[in-house]
């Protein structure tokens, strides 16, 4: 029986890598899938992993009817055995409803991947709708780690190297940009609450104020 599955986790936990693995496994069995993505780090119409793997995908912009796109492919004689959606947190709630319709009306499995909360610890609307509608929720088992070594549970946004908690919900960045750019880092809840990124921790460790004072 077809399912709508939501694989979720923080950044760096292997979501896109798993999406690519699912695509590889099914292609190797002679199946043909359709891949949607949104605002991937590799650019428009790409599904990429931080491990360097990349494949072509359909850019799921806010005006794209996902259900209609799949129906159009089928009506043109194309073959679609399953659907993969990466960066699903960026989709509109209505587009998540379209994914559910693909499962129910077309009887296709839909594998969606995304992070649940933004840098402010608020649910993305797309992720919230997936939680409400998905037949199955899966938390990725590869745990991302905070700089302190604890399990990372929160996504932090940095601007100019400093953590911010205000701004637009969707701003594309990466973990490898320069300090002048928008970047992201995964943190444990304690250090997210304290706004203590790895850069801030290094700066604090090097500050003369925290060095031991030797007596004469």
**Helices 93-106 and 66-75, axial angle in degrees (round to 10):** 40
34 near 73, Cβ under 8 Å?
yes
In Å, the largest CA–CA distance within the chain is 86
| Long-range contacts formed by 70-73: CB under 8 A, 24+ apart | 70/34, 70/102, 70/106, 70/108, 71/106, 73/34
Residue whose C-alpha is closest to residue 58's, from 50, 68, 42, 69? 69
The structure tokens 């608020």 sit at 122
Supply the residues annotated as catalytic: 87
Annotate 30-90 with DSSP letters as a single string: T--EEEEESS-TT-TTEEE-TTS-EEE-EE--TT--HHHHHHHHHHTT---SEEEESSGGG
Instruction: Show the tokens assigned to 195.
Output: 């706004």
Q: How far apart are CA 67 and CA 98, in angstroms?
A: 5
- Give me the residues paired with residue 7 across strands: 113, 138
């Amino acid at each position: 029986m077809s399912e709508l599955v939501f694989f979720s986790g923080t950044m760096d936990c292997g979501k896109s890598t798993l999406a690519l693995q699912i695509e590889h496994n099914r292609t190797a069995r002679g199946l043909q899938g359709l891949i949607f993505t949104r605002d991937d780090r590799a650019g428009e119409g790409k599904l990429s992993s931080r491990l360097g793997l990349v494949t072509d995908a359909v850019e799921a912009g806010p005006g794209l009817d996902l259900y209609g796109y799949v129906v159009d492919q089928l009506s043109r004689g194309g073959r679609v055995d399953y659907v993969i959606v990466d960066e699903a947190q960026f989709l509109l709630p209505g587009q998540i409803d379209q994914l559910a319709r693909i499962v129910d009306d077309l009887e296709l499995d839909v594998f969606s991947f995304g992070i649940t909360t933004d840098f402010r610890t608020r649910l993305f609307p797309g992720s919230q709708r997936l939680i409400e509608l998905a037949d199955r929720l899966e938390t990725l088992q590869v745990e991302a780690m905070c700089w302190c070594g604890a399990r990372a549970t929160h996504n932090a946004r940095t601007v100019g190297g400093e953590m911010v908690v205000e701004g637009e919900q969707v701003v594309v960045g990466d973990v490898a940009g320069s300090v002048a750019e928008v970047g992201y880092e995964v943190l444990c809840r304690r250090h997210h609450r304290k706004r203590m990124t790895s850069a801030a921790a290094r700066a604090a460790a090097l500050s003369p104020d925290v060095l031991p004072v030797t007596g004469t």
